[in-house]
Structure 1
Amino acid sequence: MYTHLEDYIYELYTSIGIKNPADLDKQIIAKKLGVDIIYEEDKLFRFDNEISLIRNTERQEWMDFGHEIGHYLRHCGCQLNMHPLFIDLQEWQANNFAYHFCVPTFMLDKLYNYKIYDIMQLFNVDYDFAYRRLEMYTNKMRTGGFFDEGYLTRA
């Protein structure tokens, strides 16, 4: 059973023809979503339909794009006047979004007998990102989700 975020990303990707790890290209995805990628010297941000990235390795740019597209698709408004705790929440949400966007669950489900280095190569992410994403995925598979752990009991 997928979470709301996993369902959202599955629907998003399938609606624009993204089905396999080889299809995960930030330029193609941005174009299909109507987003322009611009490059800045020292900051990442989103404004209207522009996402700013810092020139870096393809891996780092892909992971940064996942974070910023999370803001673009899921948040509105400007963080400049927000309470710091709300900014922290949005940053946590964008980070979580990036893990699922860059390494989608529906694509992980198709793999068998994979290792961290396989995830790094298939999804073009770095070691720490692949490690954390696999940790998230295996923990979910192992526990079966929040409701299966007895947190909700029937009277």
Structure 2
Amino acid sequence: MYTHLEDYIRELLSTIKVHSPPDLTIENVASKLKLEVVYRRKSYRFGNEIILQPGTEQQEWQLFGHELCHYLRHAGTQLLMHPLFIDLQEYQANYFAYHFCVPTFMLEQFKEVNHYEIMENFNVEEGFALRRLEMYERKMLLAWSRC
């Protein structure tokens, strides 16, 4: 059983015909969502632009997932928001990035899931892969305990 966010991401990726890890690239996703990706000193979202801070491919992919959440699920400008609401949006964007960059429905296709497989197949950094694996394992344990 998927969470609301996992369903949302599965539906989004299905709609734009992204079905496997090799399809998960900034260029592919951005073009299918009609987004422009620009590189600057600081990452943020502005209209249909995702502005990314240059880094490694893995860092840029993870930042893209974070900023994509702001584009898809948040409205307004953080410049005018209460700091606690900004914190909430940042938490949501970070959580979204883990699930977008390494979708659960794709993880389920692997016979054996470990952080090396996640790093290699989803092009994310080791710390990101370890955290995502922890989330996935916790979900599997919870599902197993409910049986």
Question: What is the TM-score normalised by the length of structure 1?
Answer: 0.91
Q: Name the Cα RMSD after superposition.
A: 1.0
Name the structure 1 match of 2:87.
Answer: 88
Quick one: distance in 2 between partners of 1:127 and 1:28? 23
- Which amino acid in the other structure matches residue 11 of structure 1? E
Quick one: distance in 1 between partners of 2:35 and 2:112? 36
**Deviation, structure 1 residue 52:** 0.3
- The alignment covers a number of residue pairs equal to 145
**Deviation, structure 1 residue 113:** 1.4
Unaligned runs of 5+ in 1: 149-155
CA deviation string 1:27-86 (max 9, x = no partner): 11001111100010x211101000100111111000000000011000010000100000
Matches within 5 A, 1:134-145: 134-144=133-143
**Deviation, structure 1 residue 114:** 2.6
Runs of 4+ in 1 over 4 A off after TM superposition: none
Unaligned runs of 5+ in 2: none
Question: Rg bigger for which structure?
Answer: 1
After TM superposition, the structure 1 stretch with the greater mean CA deviation from structure 2, 48-57 or 136-145, is: 136-145
Quick one: distance in 1 between partners of 2:113 and 2:32? 30
Name the structure 2 match of 1:98.
Answer: 97
Quick one: distance in 1 between partners of 2:118 and 2:44? 27
Quick one: distance in 2 between partners of 1:127 and 1:53? 20
1:52 alignment partner, SS class:
strand
Does the aligned pair in 1 maintain the 2:107–2:113 contact within 8 Å? no
Name the structure 1 match of 2:112.
Answer: 113
Name the structure 2 match of 1:18.
Answer: 18
Question: What is the TM-score normalised by the length of structure 2?
Answer: 0.96
Quick one: distance in 2 between partners of 1:14 and 1:141? 23
